[in-house]
Chain A
């Protein structure tokens, strides 16, 4: 009996800290530690979220944000994965030539480019999508190149010696072997996309979650600010979680790679 209780305790110990965090967050303003105008308790935040949802604005903001990040991300994946296969597989000398440029470009601080994107693409949707595209393309590209380069030559040679054609070789050997690396890049790109989107929307937009935060701040609407922050965090966590789930479903057969952060 005791062991079962211990197991239950051990399994749910981690959730306890989150619960405790919410309790403290709820009680802190109530007990007068901090003024309630500054920190909105979670119940009020939740009520604000429900209100915003009823007014119908919330879903459209979420939709706009998701659309922007999805469009940029999809575009980046569509360009970076084939390019990564070409650079990592067929044109290795060329990859060595352009490698430094690409690495240099990949380290360009996206925020310093933001004014340029506005200059080149206007202040509309396209500049934001282009920014997400730019941010997403690098992790996907580099990870794809590395994954394709890192394919075990033994596998390729074995397949060749068994008389595999190029198409079969690609789909049955190269793609499966490279997929964990590519997926890692996609995962990184996706979380960066969401991360950058909020900033891009704060710097210049008229809709979206980042705009909600910005708007709440300049109008000093603390409940809305906290509501938007909670919503963004929840969405980001859900995104990460579902991608992790997808990863373990798709490429779970490969040994898990170590990652310090996520």
Chain B
């Protein structure tokens, strides 16, 4: 097991070693590419300063709330369009495809116009982007439920709400979860981008602000941290998927989970579900308070002390 792990991570080790050696030995200008240890020191420094923590909380809060909105809208809507009103789903299908193809970045200004430059604009962009995979996967999944299961349930006189809740939703859940996982990945992408385009806190802002102030080790620190964070998020979701849907034999979808997640002994039960739900609520509530504080602080900075991050200064106050 240890040998396997060593072999598996030796590539990463070599990569880190190269990153450490190249600037130290002068192969690359260390000013542009700081050594790996310097970057790690910068990350630790940011963590100890309690500077990184705020940005993580803000970004995680935005991602969680955005994704939750997408799930709350996408899953019921997908169920309705895929199952209850399939004709309507057929009719609306092309429109939804067209809308999903609209580039979210070109929509960002429109959202800013409608919702201001505050949190709602960012949340709506994140929600918009992650809505489509959730919606489409739900629609497809609820349509492709094994007819035998459905007919068996119907022949035992199941009512429609019960059919939806006890047969169709559980059968469709693995596929829906794939949609949610894809949505989460895209969410994280878009979140960083939208924080770069206009925010006063968050991981994207951290990198962008470092870039604007030419703090090169901090750019690398922020970028590395985002990489690690995204990787961990993805691993966690794949693991969760594998643990939640270990009972499934095969799905219509080629799933990363079946290939990647080892069959672990851990099975989430009722306790895990409650813990997870409590954690989600805690993130939303406490993150929300934190985000409000951060925004209030950013808004209350005296004029002149706070520089704009983008474009030319409005009132020529740049110099």
| Contacts from A to B (Cβ < 8 Å) | 13-18, 20-21, 38, 96-101, 104, 107-116, 118-120, 194-195, 198-199, 202-203, 209-210, 213-214, 216-218, 222, 225-226, 228-229, 232-233, 236-237, 240, 257-258, 260-261
Contacts and interface: CB of A to CB of B under 8 A. Distances in A.
A99 B210 CA distance: 31
Residue of A14, A111, A119 ringed by the most chain B CB atoms within 10 A: A111
A18 B110 contact: no
Given A119-B216, A119-B219, A14 B90 contact: yes
Contact of B110 (A20, A225, A240): A225
Interface string B51-94: 00000000000000000000000000000000000000011111
B223 A107 contact: no
B204 interface: yes
Contacts of A203: 193, 196-197
Contact of B207 (A38, A112, A120, A202): A112
Contacts of A222: 113
A109 B208 CA distance: 13
B179 A111 contact: no
B102 A229 contact: yes
Interface string B177-220: 01100100000110011001100000110011011000010011
Contacts of A18: 94-95, 98
Contacts of A13: 90-91
A97 B13 CA distance: 10
Given A14-B90, A195-B103, A261-B100, A225 B109 contact: yes
B11 interface: yes
Contacts of B188: 109
Tier of interface size on chain B: 35 or more
Given A38-B114, A213-B106, A229-B106, A96 B211 contact: no
A17 B91 contact: yes
Contacts of A114: 196, 211
A38 B109 CA distance: 11
**Dominant secondary structure of chain A at its interface with chain B:** helix
A256 to B, nearest CB: 12
B94 A115 contact: no
Contact of A97 (B7, B93, B175, B222): B7
B137 to A, nearest CB: 5
Contact of A260 (B11, B98, B105, B179): B179
A121 B319 CA distance: 28
Contacts of B219: 115-116, 119
B23 interface: no
Closest 3 CB pairs of A and B: A115-B211, A217-B109, A112-B223
B12 interface: yes
A213 B111 CA distance: 13
Residue of B109, B192, B211 ringed by the most chain A CB atoms within 10 A: B109
A24 to B, nearest CB: 11
Contact of A120 (B32, B178, B222, B226): B32
Interface of B: 7-12, 14-15, 32-33, 90-95, 98, 100-103, 105-110, 112-114, 132-133, 136-137, 140, 175, 178-179, 182, 188-189, 192-193, 196-197, 203-204, 207-208, 210-211, 216, 219-220, 222-223, 226-227, 230-231, 234, 252-254, 311
A43 B214 CA distance: 45
A240 B231 contact: no
A209 B102 CA distance: 13
Contacts of B132: 261
Nearest to A192: B189
A118 B208 CA distance: 12
A109 B189 contact: yes
A217 B32 CA distance: 33
Nearest to B132: A261
B109 A216 contact: yes
A202 B110 contact: no
B204 A111 contact: yes
B103 A111 contact: no
B108 to A, nearest CB: 8
A112 B91 contact: no
A185 to B, nearest CB: 13
B292 to A, nearest CB: 25
Nearest to B113: A38
5 contacts: A13-B91, A17-B93, A209-B106, A210-B105, A214-B109
Contacts of B231: 104, 107
B136 A260 contact: yes
A202 B179 CA distance: 28
A100 B197 CA distance: 31
Nearest to B226: A112
Contacts of A100: 8-9, 11-12
Nearest to A18: B95
A206 B25 CA distance: 37
Given A116-B223, A202-B197, 15 more contacts: A13-B90, A99-B11, A100-B8, A100-B11, A104-B231, A107-B227, A108-B230, A109-B223, A111-B196, A112-B222, A116-B220, A119-B216, A203-B197, A258-B254, A261-B182
